Amino acid sequence: MKIIGIVGTNSAKSTNRQLLTFMQSHFANKAEIELVEIKGLPVFNKPEDKVLPDYVKELSDKIEAADGVIISTPEYDHAVPASLMNVLAWLSYGIYPLVDKPVMITGASYGTLGSSRAQGHLRQILDSPDIRARVMPASEFLLGHSLQAFDGNNNLVDQEKLDVLDGLFDDFLLFIDITKQLLNAKDAVRKEAENFSWEAE
């Protein structure tokens, strides 16, 4: 099983990156998780020639080839970071790698709520008509007080949180398998995404 883990921030130091790095190691016997960064991308500007940055095309190809995607997002002002919105805008402009792609959302934050509002915001974005990802339902992994969540070896110290993460990841692997059987409308859905325009008359 090949999974792309998107670090949902361009911050140099991030507990969301730490969480994905932990998952990459902890679940190594169940899946190969490749972490990808969203640093350095230009601000989305809707280029008329639809020429995409090379890194966007590389990321799109990786997502297309993967069985699933994990996005770990922090929360700023009750929303996902601008850098994450930016990469999702690029990934839905003339390319559609996330159509019907199974997605698991996780999030870490310094406070108590563990990016709960940002996760809700991200679900809304991923359900938009030009992205159309299949986000695993009824699941949230919320890692609050994330600065204290890991030990010196980058292991989660809270066993209850680890138990929740273990269960959700197993559910995600099952969700990926189920999603592979729910693709009867994939071509039609992709065509709808390709033909969708906010400017259509």
- What's the confidence (pLDDT) of residue 182? 80
Query: From CA 193, how far away is CA 190, in angstroms rounded?
Result: 5
- What's the confidence (pLDDT) of residue 117? 92
Tens-digit pLDDT profile for residues 62-91? 999 999 999 999 988 889 999 999 999 999
Mean pLDDT of 48-64: 94
Homologous superfamily of 2-195: Flavodoxin domain (3.40.50.360)
Say which range, 48-52, 56-60, 174-178, 181-185, has the weakest mean pLDDT.
181-185
Coil, helix or strand at residue 47: coil
- What's the confidence (pLDDT) of residue 2? 98
- What's the confidence (pLDDT) of residue 185? 64
Q: Which of 105, 129, 103 is nearest to 118 (CA)?
A: 105
Please list the helix, strand and coil fractions of the chain in percent, rounded to the nearest 5, in that order.
Answer: 40, 15, 45
Q: Domain extents for the chain?
A: 2-195
Tens-digit pLDDT profile for residues 138-193? 888 999 899 898 999 999 999 999 999 999 999 999 999 999 888 766 777 777 77
Tens-digit pLDDT profile for residues 12-47? 899 999 999 999 999 999 999 999 999 989 999 988
Amino acid at 140: E
Residue 53, CA distances (Å) to 4, 63, 66, 80, 96 in order: 19, 16, 20, 22, 15
pTM of the model: 0.91
Query: From CA 22, how far away is CA 17, in angstroms rounded?
Result: 9
Q: What does the buried/exposed string (b/e) look like for 55-86 if buried means 16 or more CB atoms within 10 Å of the residue's CB?
A: bbeebbebbeebbbbbbbbbbbeebbbebbeb
Amino acid at 55: Y
Report the chain's C-alpha Rg in angstroms: 17
Query: From CA 191, how far away is CA 173, in angstroms rounded?
Result: 27
- What's the confidence (pLDDT) of residue 6? 98
Coil, helix or strand at residue 78: coil
Tens-digit pLDDT profile for residues 121-141? 999 999 999 899 999 998 889
- CA quadruple 109, 84, 36, 99: dihedral, nearest 10: 120
Mean pLDDT over each residue of the chain, to the nearest integer:
91
